Every structure is written in C-alpha cells, then in structure tokens.
C-alpha cells in the first residue's frame, strides 16, 4: 500500500531560502503496526491529493509547511525507522532528528514497553541534548481493545520528561495537535537558548 515514492529527491532544497532555519527534521519511532505511517500520511496530506503544498519523497519522508501560532514552520517528517533492520539507519535516525515522535498503540502493551526502550536509547544517543520528544498513544478509537490507559501513558511521559498525546489516525483525532505541538516544543527550546 505504501507506494508513495517519487523521483524528485533533489527538490528538498527548493522549499525556500529564508525559511531554511525553520526546517525541522522530525523522526517517527515505534514498533511495527502502531500507526507511524498512518500518522505521517495524514501529516503529509497524502489522503488529500488536492493539497499542492505537499511533497512526497522516497523513503516515506514528508515535507510540509504548517502555520503554528501565526508563524510558518517547515517539518520534514521521516517515516523510515522500519525500512529494514539496519543498524546504521537506526543510528542515523537517533542522531539526525530535531525532534522525535515515539509512537505506541494503546491496544498493544508490548509497543508501550518498546516506547520506553526507545526513549532510553534516544537519551543515550543524545546524552546532554535537550531534544523535544513526544510520546504518542495512537489508536485511541479502539476503546474495547485498549491495553494502556491514558494515565499510564501520561505517567510514562512524566518519568521520561517528554510531552504526551493520544491520537487516532483512523479518526484524524489530535493528529494536527501532535504536529503543532512538535513545532511549539522546538521553538520553546530555541527561544530559551537565545536568551
Ligand atoms: P506502522 O507499522 O507503525 O507504520 O503502522 P501503520 O500506519 O502501517 O498502521 C498499522 C495498522 O493499524 C494499519 O492497518 C492501520 O490502518 C491501523 N491504524 C493505524 N492507526 C490507527 C488508529 O488510530 N486507529 C485504528 N483503529 N487503526 C489504526
Ligand atoms: Mg509503517
């Protein structure tokens, strides 16, 4: 199903000159099947082909500008974590992000535990850096098969010192808030650095 690739890999550069420092690399992490690609596709507007502002790159990377609090920001969202079980790729992912989205499914306890593991890995890879991380409990629409409560998710985020949101890619619920939240987190850190 994921046939959204194109040859225009070099057009990454063409997304504007003065907005360059506003291009943020966001990496999606998480177990297979939790909904990473679904969230990324919604962000990329792939389900809405009318949207000409959206470019799709090979390796399932989505480039899109969004206006948050009256200011434009460009996000480059990478859905490449699972491309293969490649150690090199995983190391790159841990190094290259300006922000991370760690996704689990609220219907899958094991994916929740994996999310904690990923958080620890990330901390190890980026020791002294204060990178924005958002823990995402996806599939909140599947009420009957829920295995992880909102409280558990929230508590985990407190322990891991990151933001938390529950989403439903199926219902498009909170997906916009998720990506806007990332931009706000990145900006907060930039502002406090400049003071
Ligand atoms: P990935 O492996 O993390 O990229 O997960 P996918 O985005 O491929 O999603 C895996 C499966 O879960 C697909 O069948 C999706 O349709 C389904 N899925 C993803 N998000 C949701 C959601 O929020 N609710 C429900 N009910 N299904 C979802
Ligand atoms: Mg996927």
Instruction: Give 31's strand partners.
Output: none
103 CA: nearest ligand 1 atom: 3
Give the mean pLDDT of 8-17. Answer: 42
Check residue 2 and give left, alpha or beta (phi > 0: left; psi -120 to 50: alpha). beta
Tell me the whole-structure pTM to 2 decimals.
0.85
Q: What is the mean pLDDT of residues 2-15?
A: 41
Locate the ligand 1 atom nearest the alpha carbon of residue 173 and give its number: 23
Of 147, 123, 33, 45, nearest to 81 (Cα)? 33
Which of 3, 31, 38, 61 to mutate for ligand 1's pocket (most ligand atoms within 8 Å of CB)?
38
Choosing from 1, 2, 35 the residue with most ligand 1 atoms within 8 A of its CB, the one to mutate for a pocket test is: 35
Query: Which has the closest alpha carbon to 160: 177, 125, 135?
Result: 135
Give every strand in the sheet of 133-138, ordered side by side: 55-57, 61-68, 71-78, 23-30, 99-105, 133-138, 163-166
Would you state the pLDDT for residue 5?
A: 40
Structure tokens at 71: 């200011």
Contact of 154 with 104, CB cutoff 8 Å:
no
Task: Determine the residue of 33, 40, 82 to mutate for testing ligand 1's pocket, defined as the one with the most ligand atoms within 8 A of the Cβ atom.
Answer: 33
Q: What is the rounded CA–CA span in Å between residue 48 and residue 45? A: 5
Ligand 1: list residues with CB < 6 Å: 30, 32-38, 138-139, 141-142, 168-170
Nearby residues of 177 by Cβ (< 8 Å), 6 or more positions away: 165
Which whole number is the average pLDDT over 45-70?
70
ipTM: 0.99
* Whether pLDDT at 58 is above 70: no
Count Cα neighbours of 94 within 13 Å in the Cβ-side half-sphere.
Answer: 17
Whether residue 30 contacts residue 115, with contact meaning beta carbons closer than 8 Å, is answered with yes
Q: What is the pLDDT of residues 59-113, one digit of tens each?
A: 589 999 999 999 999 999 999 898 667 788 888 899 999 999 999 999 999 999 9
The whole-number average pLDDT for the span 10-24 is 53
Ligand 2 geometric centre to CA of 37 (Å): 4
């Amino acid at each position: 199903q994921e046939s959204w690739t194109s040859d225009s890999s070099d057009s990454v550069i063409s997304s504007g000159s003065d907005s360059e420092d506003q291009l943020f690399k966001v990496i999606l992490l998480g177990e297979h099947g939790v909904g990473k690609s679904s969230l990324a596709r919604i962000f990329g507007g792939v389900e809405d082909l009318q949207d000409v502002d959206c470019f799709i790159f090979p390796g399932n990377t989505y480039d899109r500008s969004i206006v948050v609090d009256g200011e434009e920001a460009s996000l480059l969202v990478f859905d490449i974590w699972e491309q293969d079980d490649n150690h090199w790729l995983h190391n790159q992912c841990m190094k290259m992000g300006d922000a991370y989205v760690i996704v689990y499914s609220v219907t899958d306890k094991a994916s929740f535990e994996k999310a904690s593991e990923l958080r620890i890995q990330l901390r190890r890879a980026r020791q002294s850096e204060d990178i924005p991380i958002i823990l995402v409990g996806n599939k909140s629409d599947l009420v009957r098969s829920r295995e992880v409560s909102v409280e558990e998710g929230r508590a985990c985020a407190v322990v891991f010192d990151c933001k938390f949101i529950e989403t439903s890619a199926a219902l498009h619920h909170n997906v916009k808030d998720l990506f806007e939240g990332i931009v706000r987190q990145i900006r907060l850190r930039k502002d406090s650095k400049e003071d």
